[in-house]
Chains A and B, each alone.
Chain A
Amino acid sequence: MSDLHTIRLHVNGQPHSCAIPPRLHLVDMLRDELGLKGSHLGCEHGVCGACTVEVDGRIVRGCLTLAVQADGTQVRTVEGLSDLPDARVLQEAFVKHNALQCGFCTPGMLMAARELVQHKPDATREEVREWMSGNYCRCTGYHAIVDAVCDVLAQRHQEAAA
């Protein structure tokens, strides 16, 4: 439809150069151009959070961010989380508490949870519930997700005290 723009970015630490139409959304580029299918499309209008990815250290909606906006950035997706010790702890807690059922929201949930753990290490259970409200889950009823995140926060406090 239109001229292609070439952007350069790092995704999960790997350099990429992509020639893309300006209207392409970041999550579509990640999924369709780079084959990173872990970020999901639930609503495509910025509500459900299933497409949440990290751009330069902050989480964004992949369905509202244009791929061209990611030019020159460091992007992280769920496929890159397992390389990070703090994310692995969250993944383990999600498995332990069964904080996922169908798994479709989970990549976005983990992104949001990781930012919470980084920025609000003293969050109460209510604050965890508030923070995680940007991501929809239709399966779990959220209780187990809140348990998993609170478990990780408690673990970090124990480690800090030790």
Chain B
Amino acid sequence: MSSVVHTQDTPLHDLTQDPRYIGHSPERPSARRLVQGQGCYVDDIELPRMAHVVYWRSPVAHCRITRIQADFARRMPGVLLVADGPMLAKICKPWVATLGHLAHMKSAPQYPLAMERAYWQGEPVVAIVADTRAQAEDALQYLQVEWELLPAVVNMETALDPSTPVIHPELGDNLCFTRSLDTGGVDDAFAQADQVVNTTFEFGRHTGVTLEPRCQIADWRTAEQQLTVYHSQQAPHMMQDLYARQFDIPESSVRVICKDVGGSFGIKVHAYPDDFATVALSMMLGRPVKFVADRMESFTSDIHARHHRIDARIAVRNNGDILAFEIDDLTGIGPFSMFPRTSAIEGNQVVNLVGGPYKHQHYRAKLNVVFQNKTPTCQYRGVGHPIACAVTEGLVDMAARAIAMDPLEIRRRNVIPDDAYPCSGISGIKLEGLSHQACLDKLESLMNYPALRAEQAALREQGIYRGIGIAALIELTNPSAAFYGVGGARIASQDGATARLDPNGGVTVMVSVGEQGQGNDAIYTQIAADAVGVDMAQVRVVTGDTEVTPYGGGTWASRGAGIGGEAVLLAGQALRANVLKVAAVILKREVGEIDLHRGQVVDANTREVLTPLTEVGRIAYFRSDLLPNDFTPELTVTRHYAQRDYPFIFTNGMQASYVEVDPDTGFVKLLQHWAVEDCGRVINPRLVDEQIRGAIVQGIGGAMLEECLYDDQGLMLNANMADYLVPMCAEMPDIHVAHVQTPTKSSQLGAKGAGEAGTAGAPAAVMNAINDALAPFKAQVLSQPFTPEKVLKALGKV
């Protein structure tokens, strides 16, 4: 179970007059519905005249489409339409995914379906629409596509070699983006160091594997010229904007509805070619078209992430002072930068975040983001953090080993102290307020570090090799417009909430940030109930409909609590004030003399109940004749919030992993995992714990199991759920979570994000634990995923 401490000895101040829910862990409103099988995911929706689309996808990494013979397929039962790239390009414009603030970034135009060339295995080429999914799949067997194999750029290491073919000749080379950062003094720092550790880290390409595949229903109504898209998506307003622009229709003609979403993790925050294709098909047919990816096509068409090779070094003095970090990062992103967030962000984040927790004064970084003929990569939970954290923390542990210092001690000595904020990190990032020292102390006691070290030593005597790994992390949350808006992407950094008093005294809150299982619906209910002054049972939260909620960014970059939550708080406070104005008129009292308490209007001094909210609602809505002519109740209010004090509000945390390595088989058993997290004010401790735990296991997946394996022709070898390994219940450790709270001053609520920190820190902690266990053998593993084979190779056994 979680425990909560604060950076100050005093508890956090109360946000509202009668705080009953914020800071507690009430039940999630949606949980009861979901355990009874009453969710409503996209594939559960059936519309009249709905047709189904399946896509023929490129079976090879790079080819020229020479002929599409669709006559047989068109004659199959139930088939309504067979369409190719040029047909769809007549109604949907191509896009180029770059951002203005990423200097000299480039990419090539991309279309809903491949035009003359297909650039990766899994790229959609031909659409077949039929009355049923089975009929469409049957017809797919009769579609004949002829292609000419083209040379594929597979290996990112050679993508920039002069002898390597250029995927998009008009771009000149296979370089999407490059960036260098140099604080100066780096060479001197390395020259002055007592120890320099040089090494190379590798990160396997992996993907999100949302249990519900990507899916949508596009419904173009010809009479109204109105598009409704039911979408399993994280950012409905972003998609509304993109559909409007790519199809050249008014934004007001597009409605995006996101009901229950079966896992997202960043996979469902991008605009995929088949998203636009499905909409185009609905427009061509004038009827609803449903697309549900099957698992095989999910593996080659969902974005991948995290394939990096990083040469890295650290300079340290014998007293433990870290002097400098230097990295050279290479990442392969597929043939296109992904729309609209771009595929350069991940590498850019790595450059920003390496060394993040520490107070060294010298840093140099180089980044190359290259094109290749593999599935496009883009932002997946953690976005660059797990890579930066593993590089940083791996180097710190190696430095500690080189100077024979305890891993906790070297971190304690080098973290930016808790009283140094606000300050800038060495890469230029602005840090408002972090608590590395408090988290380190808390972690040390939570895991009982000295006892664990003693146990480790005792077991080593018996030939049992256990290891302890520590990882300090920072996480970027609550982004301002600096993330996308300034670069020209129409992705909102602000969000809004509309709060309405209903006639029966209930409160309906419409929020532009949605819910994909994190529990946003729960925390918005808690915040609204406390802010207005009603029971949680009286609050209903509505999200996921561009026609209903205020405009906003949705869920990404751990912004649901900090941005959406603040908007709900402001709306709730404003509604409370307006309710009291109405009550004062009804009761013929001054506003200052009355108060709103648990669903009732009371005398502010005596606390005597004056009237229930149901009566305020009744008179305001049904008996306006009883109110003065010059007074109109305003019982629906909207408030917006954007974080503008910093580019991002960083959070921090510490994780630890305890593992046992079998030197004979290379198998690693994960025994325990600990996480101390500072996400500012904790709105719902249980939900934060569960975000941390789920994210840690996703991080462990990348570190231990998950990898999209390709052959030298660019074909994915394990594009199914049996061969692509994800964490299972029996392999995962118990995860112990504790909190430190350093509220952000950029909002009243003080909440920062918590959704990605677990993924950021887990791979580093696990890697360091494995290498601690392997230390007696003078072996180490630095290439994720850490498979038994790699462990045995490190031990020289295979």
Q: Which residues of A contact B (CB under 8 A)?
A: 1, 21, 23, 31, 36-45, 47-48, 50, 77-79, 81-82, 91, 94-96, 98, 100-107, 110, 126, 129-130, 132-133, 135-146
Contact = CB atoms under 8 A, between A and B. Distances in A.
Interface in B259-285: 260-265
B626 interface: no
Given A38-B37, A47-B721, A103-B34, A133 B518 contact: no
B729 A146 contact: yes
17 contacts: A1-B77, A42-B213, A43-B720, A81-B37, A91-B35, A102-B260, A102-B263, A103-B260, A104-B41, A106-B37, A132-B730, A133-B730, A136-B726, A136-B728, A138-B698, A141-B695, A142-B732
B263 A44 contact: no
A102 B35 contact: no
Max chain A C-beta neighbours (<10 A), residue from B28, B41, B263: B263
A155 to B, nearest CB: 17
B295 interface: yes
A136 B208 CA distance: 13
A42 B212 contact: yes
A141 B697 contact: yes
Contacts of B31: 94-95, 98, 100, 103
Nearest to B34: A103
Interface stretch (B222-230, B397-405, B642-650, B686-694): B686-694
4 tightest A-B contacts by CB? Answer: A38-B37, A103-B34, A101-B517, A104-B262
Q: Which of A42, A96, A126, A135 has the most CB of B within 10 A?
A: A42
Contacts of B735: 141, 143
B690 A140 contact: yes
A98 B728 contact: no
Interface in B696-716: 696-698
B519 A101 contact: yes
Nearest to B208: A138
B42 to A, nearest CB: 11
Given A101-B517, A141-B693, A129 B729 contact: yes
Contacts of B77: 1
B262 A102 contact: yes
Contact of B694 (A78, A95, A101): A101
Given A100-B31, A141-B696, A78 B212 contact: no
A82 B36 contact: yes
B693 A143 contact: yes
Residue among A94, A130, A132, A140 with most chain B CB within 10 A: A140
Contacts of B694: 101, 138-141
Nearest to B295: A43
A125 B728 CA distance: 14
A113 B588 CA distance: 59
Given A91-B36, A142-B697, A98 B690 contact: yes
B38 interface: yes
B32 interface: yes
A47 B690 contact: no
Contact of B722 (A47, A94, A142, A143): A47
A81 B29 CA distance: 20
Given A47-B721, A94-B35, A102-B517, A138 B265 contact: yes
Contact of A102 (B261, B295, B721): B261
A77 B721 CA distance: 23
Given A103-B30, A104-B212, A138-B698, A48 B518 contact: no
Given A45-B721, A78-B37, A141-B693, A102 B729 contact: no
Interface of B: 27-28, 30-41, 43-44, 77, 134, 138, 208-213, 260-265, 294-295, 516-519, 686-687, 690, 693-698, 720-722, 726-732, 734-735, 758
B37 A39 contact: yes
Contacts of B722: 45, 47
B790 to A, nearest CB: 23
A50 B211 CA distance: 8
A38 B31 CA distance: 14
B693 A144 contact: yes
A18 B30 CA distance: 33
Given A43-B721, A107-B37, 12 more contacts: A37-B41, A37-B44, A40-B41, A78-B37, A101-B517, A102-B261, A104-B263, A130-B730, A135-B729, A137-B211, A141-B693, A142-B697
Residue picked from A23, A98, A100, A105, most chain B C-beta under 10 Å: A98
A21 B34 CA distance: 31
Contacts of A105: 211
B263 A138 contact: yes
B35 A110 contact: yes
Contacts of A48: 211, 721
B25 to A, nearest CB: 8
Contacts of A96: 27
B28 A98 contact: yes
A130 B729 CA distance: 7
A133 B677 CA distance: 28
Contacts of A43: 295, 720-721
A138 B138 contact: no
Contacts of A139: 263, 517, 694
Contacts of A132: 729-730
A142 B696 CA distance: 11
Contacts of B758: 141
B211 A102 contact: yes
B300 to A, nearest CB: 14
A150 to B, nearest CB: 11
Contacts of A146: 729, 734
Contacts of B34: 100, 103, 106
Nearest to A132: B729
A140 B261 CA distance: 15
A106 B38 CA distance: 11
Contacts of A100: 31, 34-35, 517
B210 A138 contact: yes
A44 B27 contact: no
B623 to A, nearest CB: 40
B212 A102 contact: yes
Contacts of B263: 101-102, 104, 138-139
Contacts of B27: 95-96
Contacts of B698: 138, 141
Contacts of A98: 28, 31, 519, 686-687, 690
Nearest to B40: A37
B730 A136 contact: no
Most B CB within 10 A of own CB, among A23, A102, A144, A145: A102
A28 B727 CA distance: 27
A82 B43 CA distance: 23
Contact of A95 (B35, B43, B693, B728): B35
A104 B34 CA distance: 8
Contacts of A143: 693, 732, 734-735
A16 to B, nearest CB: 17
A41 B727 CA distance: 19
Nearest to A1: B138
A40 B669 CA distance: 31
Contact of B39 (A77, A82, A91, A103): A103
A110 B77 CA distance: 39
Nearest to B697: A141
B428 to A, nearest CB: 34
A101 B35 contact: no
Contacts of B134: 1, 21, 23
B37 A138 contact: no
Contacts of A31: 44
Nearest to A95: B31
A27 B236 CA distance: 30
Between B39, B265, B516, B734, the greatest number of chain A beta carbons within 10 A of the residue's beta carbon is seen for B39
A103 B262 CA distance: 7
Contacts of A101: 263, 516-519, 690, 694
A48 B295 CA distance: 10
B41 to A, nearest CB: 7
B15 to A, nearest CB: 23
